[in-house]
Amino acid sequence: MNDLLLVINAGSSSIKFSLFENTPSDPTLLYKGQMEGIYVTPHFTAKDASDKKLVDEDLPAELPKSHDTSLRHILKWLDTVTAGRKIGVIGHRVVHGGTRFSKPELVTPEVIVELEKLIPLAPLHEPHNITPIKIMGELLPGVPQVVCFDTAFHSGQPELNQLYALPYELSLKEGIRRYGFHGLSYEYIASVLPQIDTKAAEGRTVVAHLGNGSSMAALLACKGIASTMGFTALEGLPMGTRTGSIDAGVVLHLINHLKMDAKQIEDLLYKQSGLLGLSGISSDMRDLEDSGTVRAKLAIDYFVSKVVREAASLAAALEGFDALVFTAGIGENGADVRLDVCRQLRWLGVEIDEAANKVRSGEPRRISLPDSKIAVYVIPTNEELVIARASRACIAS
Ligand code: ADP
């Protein structure tokens, strides 16, 4: 029976996978795992749906280090645990859909050509999303593949929120406009919000996806109308190693006066900045919270202040908001960050329940006081489930 759904989320050095059972209701997770350090020391881990670790091992050193080897290894392992059951569809996370893709699509040779045209829009991510599609096409020929885009959720934003004040032709002809990312995460939040808070689901919600990569989005009746990320995943909030928004004049200064070239600037903006750059210690929020140094505190304070300012900016786009949702690694687990953000949004009507905020749980939960004008929630995201659902729907249609 071809009743399994495989979800692939591939990056430059890692491939994450989730295997779902295609049950009549929602797809049900069976296994998840990842291959990390693909080109250094490939390390394979896998867990079952209850989070029990089933594998935790380095790949044999004599194997070639590649996405191809890693995907073969993942499939081989899946074969051992699924006892002959077959994969009926493969869903891939793809970072950039450009203006061409505003919904999930079945992979065809034409789609691959179109995806390759988008590489200049996301050179650090898109190639690593495309490679596994090609490899899986060879390893499991005949199994349909579906691409799901991080930009798609934002494609219905009003034009005003998609533009930069550059000559208009650059948007039309070159696609230089604001796309927004983390859309699969926002889509998951939008899919569960109606069961958690009907008023917010029908009204105005600000979602803060705070992880290694961080962004925020404004949802009106569960549709994205504004986001902090733009043309690339660099704009908006500071992140683990990315700057977030900076004056474009800084880039000109780096070129003209510090004589840096494009590669050096790319490295600076994407890999050496953000929490790491400000703290000089780590890109990981937990390390900064544990460290207690002045610069670690500065980095956390900067991060919090930008979350607060972006929340207010998105609130303006929504003309107020009914709910604030925290999600992703920091949003789901960083109680201190949530507390600081909520305290600084008190003037807007956010009243955090400090005891509820401290509770650790993998379930969606409310962390604001009953009389808070704005309801605050922690909702664990599930991008893989969104991809599984979309892939199934795509082949069914
Ligand atoms: P990615 O964008 O790679 O998916 P995640 O969503 O997993 O990232 O988020 C990773 C971030 O979450 C890291 O900065 C990590 O420190 C932070 N994080 C995880 N657990 C906690 C915690 N208990 N307290 C504060 N931050 C946390």
Residues 161-210: tens digit of each pLDDT: 999 999 999 999 999 999 999 999 999 999 999 999 999 999 999 999 99
Sheet holding 53-58, edge to edge: 53-58, 43-48, 28-36, 15-21, 4-10, 87-94, 145-149, 105-106
What does CATH list as the number for 4-149? 3.30.420.40
Catalytic residue among 3, 68, 150, 336: 150
Could you tell me the distance, in angstroms and rounded to a whole number, from the CA of residue 274 to the centre of ligand 1? 14
Q: What integer pLDDT is reported at residue 367 of this predicted model?
A: 98
Nearest-angstrom CA–CA distance, 338 and 330: 8
Q: What integer pLDDT is reported at residue 71 of this predicted model?
A: 92
**CATH 3.30.420.40 domain span(s) along the chain:** 4-149, 196-383
Pocket test for ligand 1, best of 239, 284, 304, 330 (most atoms within 8 A of CB): 330
371 is catalytic: no
pTM for the whole thing?
0.95
Kindly give the number of the ligand 1 atom that is closest to the alpha carbon of 335. 24
Is the C-beta atom of 218 inside 6 A of ligand 1?
A: no
Is the C-beta atom of 183 inside 6 A of ligand 1?
A: no
What does CATH list as the number for 196-383? 3.30.420.40
Could you tell me the distance, in angstroms and rounded to a whole number, from the CA of residue 230 to the centre of ligand 1? 22
Nearest-angstrom CA–CA distance, 129 and 198: 35
Nearest-angstrom CA–CA distance, 364 and 378: 6
| Residues of the chain falling short of pLDDT 70 | 1-2
Closest residue (by CA) to atom 7 of ligand 1?
A: 329
- Which residues are part of a known binding site? 9, 16, 93, 209-213, 284-286, 329-333, 383
Q: What integer pLDDT is reported at residue 291 of this predicted model?
A: 95
- Greatest Cα pair distance, the chain, in angstroms, is 63
